[in-house]
């Protein structure tokens, strides 16, 4: 079975956070050196895993890490490139659901 079809999530879940997106992220999937690679140029994310599921989990972690490190950071603490990344995150994230706060 060919698992290299594009990865186009309209939401991303990692840990207790769910990121609902305004539109699908366009990600390429390749199989190289016995690993699945998922790449998204917009956010400069490239991850890999022995299975497609592991690669998707790694992608979710990377997106979550970008959110934690940039989304709520003050612009004065960010370089021009980081501010641009923050703007992209803010424009694509429609809503963040924190499952840890649910009763």
Indicate the pLDDT class of residue 100, thresholds 50, 70 and 90. Answer: confident
The domain 11-98: what is its CATH number? 3.30.160
Q: Is the pLDDT of residue 35 over 80?
A: yes
CA distance 13 to 98: 10
Question: Average pLDDT in the 62-67 region?
Answer: 97
What are the two backbone dihedrals, phi and then psi, of residue 87, each rounded to the nearest 5 degrees?
-60, -40
Spell out the domain ranges in the chain. Answer: 11-98
């Amino acid at each position: 079975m060919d698992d290299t079809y594009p990865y186009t999530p309209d939401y991303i879940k990692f840990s207790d956070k769910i990121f609902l997106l305004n539109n699908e992220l366009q990600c390429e999937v390749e199989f190289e050196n016995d690993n699945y690679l998922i790449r998204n140029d917009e956010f400069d994310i490239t991850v890999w895993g022995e299975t497609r599921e592991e690669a998707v989990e790694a992608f979710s972690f990377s997106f979550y890490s970008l959110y934690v490190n940039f989304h709520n950071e003050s612009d004065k603490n960010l370089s021009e490139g980081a501010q641009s990344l923050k703007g992209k995150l803010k424009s694509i994230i429609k809503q963040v659901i924190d499952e840890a706060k649910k009763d």
